[in-house]
Structure 1
Amino acid sequence: MAPSATPPPHPHHAELRTQLDTLTTEAFRPELADIDQRPTLDIVRTMNDEDAAVPTAVAAQLPRIAAAIDATAARMARGGRLIYAGAGTAGRLGVLDASECPPTFNTDPSQVIGLIAGGPSAMVQAVEGAEDSKQLAATDLDALHLSPTDTVVGVSASGRTPYAIGAVEHARALGALTIGLSCNAHSALAAAAEHGIEVVVGPELLTGSTRLKAGTAQKLVLNMLSTVTMIRLGKTYGNLMVDVRASNEKLRARSHRIVALATGAPDAEIESALTATNGEVKHAILVILGQLDAPTAAHRLAASDGHLRAALAAATAAATPEQP
């Protein structure tokens, strides 16, 4: 039997290789060609030096990041959601950031959502072809019944991933706010979004392994997007996580400590306030500082859209006698 002929290269593969050749995240670094022969300490020092450049690249994008946060917070204040969409490492980072919001800020799990191309199984195993489908992104977003108050963040190191671009394009067509986060300049993802954030970290230690510097950069920016948005939404009091969800012993101890730091009250008063408010840190602080009962504290917070400073100001104003 004659050996089977090697199939000709797919024309799309040649086009894709040409695209990759233009991306700084994919660039080959000949000065690192011997890295596998270097001492381990030399390798980790080199890697650490590479990582040290990431915050500087993020700093160059801070005005764009801040503008995206303000726009996101404005929509979320009207009841919108923050939705991340990406493939591979980028998708996993979005899912990670979303999953950390409920315990940190007591958000409903439906308020910050991470979509990964290929679905939940793609968190641990690659799903063939999922990242190449714009339609899959549109289908995933349609399942969430996207609205104009929502924000969709497409995340892609290369800035060319069809799933991330498709998510942003579909969301923008439906009137949602769109943010494109990538690690290459002049990316298609940034061009498709209202807010383009391009953190150019340069070539990776291992050619094309964008879970390294690019992944670190994306994690830093996603931390900023969610954390500062939550600060703007009143989820903190100063730098205290007053909306923390006390779901285990460590968090219950942290809740007590946060109330103590905010109020300076003795332990017995703190425990009494936390018991009266069902463990709600923000409510307990208002009970103590505003000298209110738990139901009144809850009412004040609801009237202030959850902003503790505003609720405290209202409580203080109500307790201050009018001047003649």
Structure 2
Amino acid sequence: MMKAAVLVENNKIEIQDIDKPILKNKGDVLVRVAYTGICGSDYVRFFENQAKFYPIILTHEFSGIVEASNSANYRAGDKVAIIPLKPDFEDEQSKKGNYSLSENYGFIGSRENGGLQEYTVIPEENLVPIPENIDLRTAAFIEPLTVSLHGFKVAGLKDLMVKKAALIGMGSIGLLALQVLVSYGYDVTAFDISDDKLALSRQLGAKAIVNTRNKEELEAAYNQFDFVIETSGANQSYYIVNKLAAKKGNILYIGTPHKDLTIDFQTFELINRKELTARGSWMNYSAPWPGEEWTEAVELFQKEAIKINPLIAAEVSLETFPEIFADYREHKIDGKIFITVKGGN
């Protein structure tokens, strides 16, 4: 038996003793889950009836240690991070390397059980080997780091002429994206409604910060940025991206909105008037599977270019996660919720 935090119905979680999984198929690996983070996308699954089924074990950002293996590529004791997408590799989009655009994909922590359990069986193609000099706490941040790396790849960032970049939304994804851009050498201005998040952005390398509730500061920043990245998905962000962009600027949408948007025509037509280029980014994969984003994420952590501890707002064990569940629901925790499942180095 093992313990798991099970979402038994919307807004109701229980710590349960469930059967420990066993290996059955060739290539499968039994992973002892060490740490898992909660993604912003998990909120609607926990609290807004958007779980695919009940009961379900959520989270897709996690690391662990191989307990047993039916794979020639992994052996007991290996450190791993999890790749949550399970593409349909025969889908036409997958054959083009667009794995997250395939129709019938699976997803660990959403369409099947995820990281809030002590052990799980993962196919070998859904694992990333972790070098000895990266600890398992850090490895749990590889998946969210690849989100911005994929966006930058989609936008062709390294081929663009960028003098100044703007980041809108300094949550976990935004703060990770900021550190990547700083490591690339860009001049980055951070935008958010939270002074605390902006102060943290400054500590992590932002050259300037702007509270978007300050109208004068915000308007003074219009038309300045060659590259504008929206990471929050908050409705108010979509009203300012076109205004921040310089002429011939590029906009990257990483965040996903959860409410209807109504944009005035003057704001929308800035796409025409400034001849802007806008790109969307969905998930974090490219060919060859799972993509160079995952290799680069490991390299960035090896170079110690990315700090994770400043991003963690609440850290609990698997058993004590229910104690902060109400605060999580009421948005009283501003930052990453990080859970020790079995722990490890």
**Higher strand proportion:** 2
What TM-score do the two structures reach when normalised by structure 1? 0.33
What TM-score do the two structures reach when normalised by structure 2? 0.31
**Higher helix proportion:** 1
